[in-house]
Amino acid sequence: MPPPAVEATGLTKSYGGVRVLDALDLHVAPGTVFALLGPNGAGKTTTVRILATLTTPDAGHARVAGHDVVTARSRVRRAISLTGQFAAVDETQTGAENLWTAARLSGLSRRAAARRAAELLERFGLADAGNRLTRTYSGGMRRRLDLAAGLVRDPGATRVMFLDEPTTGLDPRSRQELWEVVRELSASGTTVFLTTQYLEEADRLADRVAVLGNGRTLAEGAPAELKARSAAHRLDVVADDQGSYLRLAARTPHPTTHDPATRTLGVPTDGSALHVRELLDVLDPGRRDIARFTLHTATLDDVFLTLTAADTAAGADNGKEPSHV
């Protein structure tokens, strides 16, 4: 088996007495898409900053592309690319000039930088807009240019690409375009380490998913595996009236979904007729509160909400990730 692209053991980090990461372990296979999910403050960005050598852990060890993130920072930085939550492009330059500048800063000659810029504009669907100022670009185009800038070195030099919530603020079409770029990167052998708030994004892109809560891993596995482990299905019950909704909510300690406006509660289930009947009897023993119900296949949203609901309640005052990291 090839060595992992990203490996972390016992990563711990605190800010001002608040523990953001609590002995976090990670293992990411090369050439895969790995998604790190978690609510705001769970430690996702701090994890990326440590792995990208921008922050030093208080304890624990991590290796990226085979190099220690503390003792071999320069080697790690030569093997990775990092794209933050907001596209970092120079609006006074064209798309081609942005990429040429990034390539020159990476050590390429003038001729090689021009050639690489042209290649990347073509690869990321920006060739027709290469000579336009980036201030005229859409959000999706800026994001693609930002990703391209992270790959200006020789093809294959970037072994691990970190994407910290790359589709935040993008419209659905731009998000779909960016997903296609991520798939292409993975298919070419680049390991993609992704943090995201969009559960659908992780479900569609990731080979493996880790759900983070209060700085520790709550669950990890393939999307289908996590769905089956948490709950294969979700039972949605609609209350007859507001009073019925409140009674149902009181009998459901950790619903995966709850919508007072539509008086709907979602409850995890294995999908069997026996379990569904048992749930209905527990939720509505008098058979007066439930107006109707539907059965759905579980999504990563259900997994996420199930895993983080109890964890958030238990650690409401712990593990809050500072907004500046």
pLDDT at 230: 61
pLDDT one-digit tens code per residue, 230-269:
656 788 899 989 999 999 989 886 677 778 889 999 888 8
| Size of the chain, expressed as the number of residues it contains | 325
How many angstroms separate the CA atoms of 238 and 292, rounded? 5
pLDDT at 225: 79
Tell me the Ramachandran region of residue 65: left when phi exceeds 0, alpha when psi lies from -120 to 50, beta otherwise.
left
pLDDT one-digit tens code per residue, 93-112:
999 999 999 889 888 899 99
SS3 of 107-137: CCCHHHHHHHHHHHHHHCCCHHHCCCEHHHC
* Beta carbons of 217 and 43 less than 8 angstroms apart: no
DSSP class of residue 3 equals: P
Percent of the chain topping pLDDT 70:
87
Query: What burial class does residue 77 get, using C-beta atoms within 10 Å of its C-beta: 0-12 exposed, 13-18 middle, 19+ buried?
Result: middle
The token pair that represents 193 in the structure block: 């380490």
Looking at the predicted structure, is the pLDDT value of residue 308 above 80?
no
How many angstroms separate the CA atoms of 47 and 8, rounded? 10
Phi, psi for 165 (deg, rounded to 5) = 50, 60
- Beta-strand pair 160-164/216-221: unpaired
How many angstroms separate the CA atoms of 142 and 165, rounded? 14
* Beta carbons of 102 and 134 less than 8 angstroms apart: no
CATH of 6-222, one of 3.30.470.10, 3.40.250.10, 3.30.70.270, 3.40.50.300: 3.40.50.300
Domains in the chain: boundaries: 6-222, 232-297
- The architecture that CATH gives domain 232-297 is 2-Layer Sandwich (3.30)
How many angstroms separate the CA atoms of 63 and 60, rounded? 11
pLDDT-derived band at 323, boundaries 50, 70, 90: very low
How many angstroms separate the CA atoms of 68 and 73, rounded? 7
Tell me the Ramachandran region of residue 9: left when phi exceeds 0, alpha when psi lies from -120 to 50, beta otherwise.
beta
* Beta carbons of 145 and 134 less than 8 angstroms apart: yes
pLDDT at 293: 92
pLDDT one-digit tens code per residue, 178-222:
888 888 888 888 999 999 877 778 888 999 999 888 788 888 888
Question: Buried (b) or exposed (e) across 130-155, using 16+ Cβ within 10 A?
Answer: beeebeebeebbbbbbbbbbbbbbee
pLDDT-derived band at 26, boundaries 50, 70, 90: very high
**Residue partners of 232: CB distance under 8 A and separation at least 6:** 269, 270, 271, 297, 298
Quickly tell me which residue has 């002995």 as its tokens: 23
Threshold 0.85, pTM exceeds: no
DSSP 219-265: EEE-HHHHHHHH-SEEEEEEESSHHHHHHHHHT-SS-SEEETTTTEE
CA quadruple 43, 54, 160, 95: dihedral positive or negative? Answer: positive
